[in-house]
Amino acid sequence: MAGVYRSLGKPGCALLLGALAAGCSFNSSVAPAQIANAAGASLHASVALDELPTRELTTPKKPLIYWGYYMPSAIAIFSQKGTNPPEQGKITKGLSHPERLFVDKALNLYATNNAKNTITAYKYATTSPYLTISNGVNGPIGVTVDAAGTVYCANIGNSTVTEYPKGQTSPSLTIPMNGLLPEDLAIDASDNLYVSYSSNGAGGGVLEFPHGSTTGKNLGLEYGGGGSLQVDKAGNIIIVDDGLNQIDIYAPGQVVPSKRISVPAGTAFDLTLNQAETQLFVTVELGSATFIVQELDYPNGTSLKNKITAHDGQWEIAVSPDAVL
């Protein structure tokens, strides 16, 4: 089953797994333009991919932006330097409708592939996966990796989060979400796991799980819907608020945002911090098949500025090096 997908052009409208949720009573930031029925059939919006360079990266390790195409399945690679930098290369092998991306402390890139129920991992400067995980993966959306190399996957297809020790392809722990629809994941400096979720008829929320536990605490955050999630070194939670189309930042222990950043240009989808936590990158759909990466000086910036513009279905983002705690 393909899972929950946000309708193009209407960020507040989502479809519940296996059925059309009439009226769209909850929000989802799960990537784009696929409607799944109970039999697993789907209707996809076609997006053309411009010609991209196919060479592998051979330069020394440098700050990169990975920007994913949901359809067709690809990840474009850019330098973090400058505005509208040229593409450095692309990844296509092993990808099938990538939903979320993550870069670990070793600079390995991870992608969840919703159409194949896999997670694929790529070494820096390579375009073929060195690791593929499928056991326990069901409608994968969010992915994160802790400092020890444990991989965490949000499975919207069966309402679980699965954990995989470094280099392993079988889960060591499965966290039941009890019908909630997990969307994105983050790890804090104490290895606590955070899960953003959507719930039919009840908006979204964030759960916090102590390391190794299957019992989570609902943080009671006040926001409009589940979305892309980050936790910085100070414990601030950063999340895309689908309901209000803004970025919400919550100080530790608070349920009301200490800061709200509007996204006036279009519909926000994904976000990520750089390693130094000085820049926050956000992907935005402008409409009419125009997609942009915007950036914000973190934590003091108050407005987004354009970084990269494209005209394909580019949604998910990761940067290398990432802010891995």
What digits encode the pLDDT tens for the residues 23-74?
333 334 455 433 233 233 332 333 333 334 444 444 457 899 999 998 889 9
Domains of the chain in start order, with CATH, are 34-320 (2.120.10.30)
Label the pairing between strands 193-198 and 204-209: antiparallel
End-to-end CA distance of the chain: 33
Query: 210-225 burial, b if ≥16 CB within 10 A, otherwise e?
Result: eeeeeebeeeebebbb
Please give the full DSSP string across 22-64, using - where no structure is assigned.
TT--S-----SSEEE-TT--EEE----------PPP-SPP--E
The per-residue pLDDT for range 168-198, each reduced to its tens digit, is: 999 999 999 999 999 999 999 999 999 999 8
Dihedral angle at the C-alpha atoms of 109, 277, 285, 160, nearest 10 degrees? 50
The alpha carbon of residue 14 and the mean position of all alpha carbons in its chain are separated, in whole angstroms, by 16
The sheet with strand 290-297 has its strands ordered as 267-273, 279-287, 290-297, 305-310
Which letter does DSSP use for residue 59 in this model? S
Q: Is the pLDDT of residue 224 over 90?
A: no
Token duo for residue 204: 């979204």
Residues in a beta bridge with 296? 280
